[in-house]
Chains A and B, each alone.
Chain A
Amino acid sequence: MPWFIKTRSERETKNKLKDDIWVRCNSCKAHIFKQDFINNLNVCPKCGWHGKITAYERIGITLDSGTFKEINETIRPSDPLSFTDAKGPYTEKVEASRKKTGLNESVVTGTGKIEGCPVAVAVMDFRFLGGSLGSGSGEKILLAANYAYDHKIPYILFSASGGARMHEGILSLMQMAKTCAGVARLNEKKIPYISVLTDPTTGGVSASYAMVGDINIAEPGALIGFAGRRVIEQTIKQKLPDSFQTAEFVLEHGFLDMVVQRKNLKETLHKILSYYNR
Chain B
Amino acid sequence: MERELDFEKPIFEMQKAVEKLKSVSGDNKENFEVQLGELEKKLVERKKEIYDNLTPWQTVQVARHPRRPVFFDYIKNIFTDFIELHGDRCFGDDQAMLGGFATLGKKKVMLIGHSKGKDVEENLARNFGMARPEGYRKALRLMKLAQKFNIPVITFIDTMGAFPGLDAEERGQAEAIARNLTEMARIEVPIITVVTGEGGSGGALGIGVGDVVLMLSHSIYSVISPEGCASILWRDASFSPKAAEALKITAKSLYELGVIDEIIPEPPGGAHTDPQKTAEEIKKVLLKYLKKLSSLSTSKLINKRFEKYCSMGKFTR
Q: Which residues of A contact B (CB under 8 A)?
A: 74-78, 80-81, 83-87, 105, 134-136, 138-139, 142, 164-166, 168-178, 180-185, 187, 203-204, 206-212, 224-228, 231-232, 235-236, 238, 240, 244-245, 253-255
Contacts and interface: CB of A to CB of B under 8 A. Distances in A.
A166 B259 CA distance: 16
30 contacts: A77-B316, A80-B314, A81-B246, A85-B246, A134-B313, A166-B247, A169-B222, A169-B257, A170-B253, A171-B314, A174-B259, A177-B205, A177-B209, A180-B185, A181-B185, A181-B305, A184-B182, A185-B185, A206-B178, A207-B162, A207-B178, A208-B181, A210-B178, A211-B175, A227-B165, A227-B169, A227-B173, A235-B163, A236-B166, A253-B171
A135 B208 CA distance: 18
B253 to A, nearest CB: 8
Interface string B223-257: 11000010011110001000100111100011001
B310 A232 contact: no
B174 A135 contact: no
B315 A78 contact: yes
Contacts of B257: 80, 169-171
Nearest to B314: A80
B313 A175 contact: yes
A170 B315 contact: no
B183 interface: yes
Nearest to A79: B314
Nearest to A216: B175
Listed residue (A75, A170, A253) with the most chain B CB atoms within 10 angstroms of its CB: A170
B42 interface: no
A205 to B, nearest CB: 9
A164 B232 CA distance: 13
Contact of A245 (B162, B169, B178, B181): B169
Contacts of A180: 178, 181-182, 185, 209
Given A85-B234, A170-B257, A232-B166, A178 B317 contact: no
B179 interface: yes
B239 to A, nearest CB: 7
Contact of A185 (B184, B222, B306): B306
Given A177-B309, A187-B186, A212-B181, 15 more contacts: A76-B316, A86-B233, A168-B223, A173-B202, A177-B185, A180-B181, A180-B185, A181-B309, A211-B172, A226-B162, A226-B169, A226-B174, A227-B164, A231-B164, A232-B165
Nearest to B221: A170
A244 B167 CA distance: 11
A177 B235 CA distance: 29
A173 B225 CA distance: 12
B164 A235 contact: yes
A207 B177 contact: yes
Contacts of B171: 253
Nearest to B186: A184
Contacts of B209: 177, 180-181
B99 to A, nearest CB: 20
Q: Which 3 A-B pairs have the closest CB atoms?
A: A135-B313, A227-B164, A136-B315
